[in-house]
Structure 1
């Protein structure tokens, strides 16, 4: 029984001690007195770097927390990002003993009340890329540790390489450096990019990697006068589904209409219309693509080369169909070139052999004394006369059909090769 009383007494004493030490009891007067002591009685100046030994550097740590990639404009070559920085350093003039001020271990003050590093985004195209604002709050710990978290919406320059568009990867950076101070005063010690669950997805790009590095530059040729520049780099992968479904697929399908135009009969009147329509369609698609690409010759997109090649093939299809229509409507009395005549004779010999096998009669093989019904005699004025072509017949439509077939085969092979090569490059 006595033992239980001792245990209960011990628990009661421990609970009271824990309650008294675990509760902060500072008042308004404590906070007011602390600020008076730190900023007025100590002659604190926002213009003087808070280092007791001014020959020593003030080390700064910078972490970039990315909230959203707003846009990567390939044409303008700029990236817009939104997020905040967590910037920490030690202010040796802002230290105190919490026991003297009611247990205050930290407080927040206005940015304009303390010294802050003059950091800026050096690759920003905005007029004012200086961090923070006078009314931004800064956390101050009793050890002198400062936690400054300025938000940002930066528009920074980014060199875009569109060679592999639309399955390309882009590397863009937000570059941060002191504006007027060098490494003799400020040294950027640690940098980091944080992309966590707070990141809002972008509809055009995925962030596949991020990194932070420091570069050192010598100013005015003086080795002792150096500057640290921090690069917060994002590696972006373009989401190509939109382009595959809405641009590449239709272009590939339309391109094969160049070959299909040679299947349209010359007498139909639509042969040239089909090839011209294909040419205009590809030209419109090229204009749509050009609106998304930068006006630069540093890199040429394989996609643009692909579409330009198809436009060239479409132009040749227009020219070829024009020539075929001209051949089809040529004067029957015009002489057929020997190369085309050989193709035509070969075609008719095949036709003759096929019809002989079917029991059809050709005039040159008839016996003059034989009797045969006229209804059973099929005469072809455009057949074979001896070893040549019957001169009184119009063979130009047949020549046009032969050229159509040859053009169909050639264009189909070339178009398949162009599309296969582009598909291989995009893999």
Structure 2
């Protein structure tokens, strides 16, 4: 009986343990089923919406039913960084983020409380996209059309197309005031085939572009960046397309108007580098040019000093020529300054040669004419306040 009681008690303990283990497993299984059912219900809603939207949707058709009104594309332009401005090739490199939004009535759905905040992310090649083209594209590795992978859909039919990109665009550089110059560069976006009657680009705001994440450039300072809309007219000079008017008659449309969005960037060069490394040394060399006239006339180092200064100016001229584009439209301000200094140095070397030559001739030749003596000794000597020194030298060499 005692042994039977022990076995009965052990069986009760084992049964209670199995019941507890079964309860824990049941609770865990229920939690897994609840979580999976919630996740499956969310995925099912997205799949249901996508399958309903894409059942009869064609990406090649316009997103609006009313063909009489153009499709309005709102563009938000964010400038992240001005990477470089190549003055010689006149190419501006920027890091930008372009977001385009438009309404597609075919991609709207009735949202309930569970799906009112749902945003669908689908592949960009499955929906209609504007043929946005960068008209002043200078990157030979890209076609100029904006490309991205995904678009975002909202229940009201709004489509958002974010495009991060690195743009290389042409920029006409004006070097007249180099290195204290301002440059005006433009990035021009527009449709490649759709006219203004079919597609219109508008900026999100006319106050300016988004500069929240802008990173300063070490050489260029951004002064302003504003978007504006420009109408572009394309004239057909060859085969003109024929269209039908309201009465059914054919007519030729000689011109087409296109809507372009232009982002104008005004930047200023940071000139401290050029002032410190080019302008200040040139000023010091110009002072040395003046001191060549203080060298005694019987010293031939007078000419060597002038030639050394001239060669130094030539080196700085080569440095400036490497920075600016090879153009004949304008001469940079610093180049004109160095050219004037080189001209002054050339004149000083010529006068130094004449002075050394006259000094070595001495009194072996006849005295100068009275008119020449009156100009250089009387008038010019008094103007430069060296008349007494000239008279003394003239008496010494018996020129007078």
TM-score, normalized by the shorter chain, greater than 0.5 = yes
Distance 1:269 1:285, change over 3 A: same
CA-to-aligned-CA distance 1:332-352 (integer Å, 9 cap, x gap): 32123135767499748976x
Aligned position for 2:4: none
Distance 1:191 1:164, change over 3 A: farther
Residues 279 and 311 in structure 1, CA contact (< 8 A), matched pair in contact too: yes
Q: Write out aligned runs for 1:53-132 (5 A).
A: 53-99=66-112, 102-103=115-116, 105-127=118-140, 128-132=143-147
Q: Distance in 1 between matches of 2:41 and 2:226?
A: 42
Aligned position for 1:172: 185
Task: Give the one of 126, 134, 143 matched to 2:156.
Answer: 143
Q: Distance in 1 between matches of 2:61 and 2:229?
A: 25
Q: Distance in 2 between matches of 1:298 and 1:92?
A: 53
SS at match of 1:150: strand
CA-to-aligned-CA distance 1:295-326 (integer Å, 9 cap, x gap): 11222222221111111111111111111111
Task: Give the one of 35, 48, 65 matched to 2:50.
Answer: 35
Q: Distance in 1 between matches of 2:329 and 2:151?
A: 44
Residues 169 and 238 in structure 1, CA contact (< 8 A), matched pair in contact too: yes
Q: Write out aligned runs for 1:217-228 (5 A).
A: 217-220=232-235, 222=253, 225-228=256-259
CA-to-aligned-CA distance 1:99-158 (integer Å, 9 cap, x gap): 29755631111111111100011011123221023xx12111010111111011111111
Distance 1:61 1:163, change over 3 A: same
Which stretch shifts more, 101-110 or 247-256? 101-110
Residues 363 and 397 in structure 2, CA contact (< 8 A), matched pair in contact too: yes
Residues 282 and 307 in structure 1, CA contact (< 8 A), matched pair in contact too: yes
SS at match of 2:46: helix
Residues 116 and 155 in structure 2, CA contact (< 8 A), matched pair in contact too: no
**Aligned Cα root-mean-square deviation (Å):** 2.7
Q: Distance in 1 between matches of 2:256 and 2:364?
A: 91
Task: Give the one of 321, 336, 348 matched to 2:367.
Answer: 336
**1:327 correspondence with 2:358:** yes
Q: How many residues align?
A: 333
TM-score, scaled relative to structure 1: 0.72
**1:157 correspondence with 2:188:** no
Aligned position for 2:239: none
TM-score, scaled relative to structure 2: 0.77
- Structure 2 unaligned residues grouped into runs of 5+: 1-37, 237-252, 382-386
Q: Distance in 1 between matches of 2:390 and 2:233?
A: 86
Residues 27 and 102 in structure 1, CA contact (< 8 A), matched pair in contact too: no
Residues 138 and 146 in structure 1, CA contact (< 8 A), matched pair in contact too: yes
**1:237 correspondence with 2:249:** no
Distance 1:150 1:266, change over 3 A: same
- Structure 1 unaligned residues grouped into runs of 5+: 1-22, 352-381, 384-388, 400-427
CA-to-aligned-CA distance 1:255-314 (integer Å, 9 cap, x gap): 121111111123333111110011111111111111111211222222221111111111
Report deviation, 1:248: 0.8
